[in-house]
Amino acid sequence: MVKSQHKPGFSDTSRAFRTGFADRLRWVLDSFENRGEAAAAAGVGANQLARYLRGEADPPWPVITRLAAEKGVSLNWLANGEGSRSSNAVDEVDDIAGMVSVPVFDFRASAGSGEVAESEEPVARIAFDRDLLIAHGISPKAPGLMVASGYSMKPTIDDGDPIVVDRTDREPRDKIYVFRRGGMLLIKELRRRSDGTLALISHNPSYQPEELPRDEADELEIIGRVGMVFKSV
């Protein structure tokens, strides 16, 4: 387990910061029907929500992201008071208190025969510890979370496993990548040969590897390298 050096929540505990955040938080909470509805959306009790408003406790990052997503406000505005209040799906939030806001994509990258992406715009954002991403070799500059489908990469990646992709790493080098081929999104291990051909390797022994000639290999659009896989237990 990778231990973070950062505590989720806010690093600035000055009175002015807390007061400003409480004002922004109150604005978000007032947009709900009642405090009970707001607490349910935040995933905490109403009493705990009141403590955040009074500045008696720092809300953890998941609370902030849930409230922002529920009411469509900018994470950067709610947490830091920066930028515009309104948000959109591609709202850029890099690093708040050691946490990185990672876009969530509502399409599946197939470990089988391929999936068509209806939309490639992020639909939400989720917080990851910056140190955790770096420890797994993922650049904090452009991570992305999506869900795998199919069984050709089993047991490494199973059907329904969430994966985090480093979208800055697009050069095949014997790693697992998400890529587009003929309009279909796929997950395979890619191995570049010395002659320029590219091997598409499945980890499930029931699936045979595929060799692409250089001209076809050059036409692949690599989305990014898979750096983290989440498993159910």
How crowded is residue 127: how many other Cβ atoms within 10 Å of its Cβ? Answer: 20
> Quick one: 155 and 190 in the same domain?
yes
The residue among 31, 47, 80 that closes a domain is: 80
26 and 107, same domain (yes or no): no
What CATH number did the domain enclosing 163 receive? 2.10.109.10
Of 52, 80, 108, which residue sits at a domain end? 80
Do 21 and 130 fall within a single domain? no
Same domain? For 74 and 104 the reply is no
Query: What's the predicted TM-score (pTM) here?
Result: 0.61
According to the model, what pLDDT value does residue 183 have? 81
- The answer as to whether 172 is a domain residue is yes
Tell me, yes or no, whether 39 lies in a domain.
yes
Distance CA 142, CA 155 (A): 26
CATH of the domain at 50: 1.10.260.40
Check whether residue 106 and residue 220 sit in a common domain: yes
Q: Is residue 89 part of a domain?
A: no
Residues 122 and 173 in one domain: yes
110 and 223 both lie in a single domain:
yes
Q: Phi, psi at residue 7, to the nearest 5°?
A: -90, 125
Claim to verify: residue 112 and residue 211 sit in the same structural domain: yes
Same domain, 194 and 136: yes
Tens-of-pLDDT digits for all 233 residues of the chain? 333 333 334 444 444 445 678 888 999 999 999 999 999 988 889 999 998 888 888 887 778 878 887 887 877 778 777 667 766 544 444 555 677 878 888 767 766 555 555 556 777 777 788 888 999 999 988 899 988 888 999 999 998 888 999 999 999 989 999 999 888 889 999 999 988 899 999 999 999 999 999 999 888 999 999 999 988 66
Whether residue 155 has a cis bond before it, omega within 30° of 0: yes
pLDDT of residue 97: 61
Q: Are residues 42 and 103 in the same domain?
A: no
| In contact, 16 and 30? CB cutoff 8 Å | no
Residue 137 lies in a domain: yes
* pLDDT at position 79: 76
Does residue 5 fall inside a structural domain?
A: no
How many domains does the chain divide into?
2
116 and 31 assigned to the same domain: no
Residues spanned by the domain of 27:
15-80
pLDDT (0 to 100) of residue 8: 38
Tokens of 65: 């992201």
The interaxial angle of helices 35-42 and 61-71, nearest 10 deg, is 120
Q: Is residue 7 part of a domain?
A: no
9 within some domain = no
Strand partners of residue 166: 143, 225
116 & 187 share domain: yes
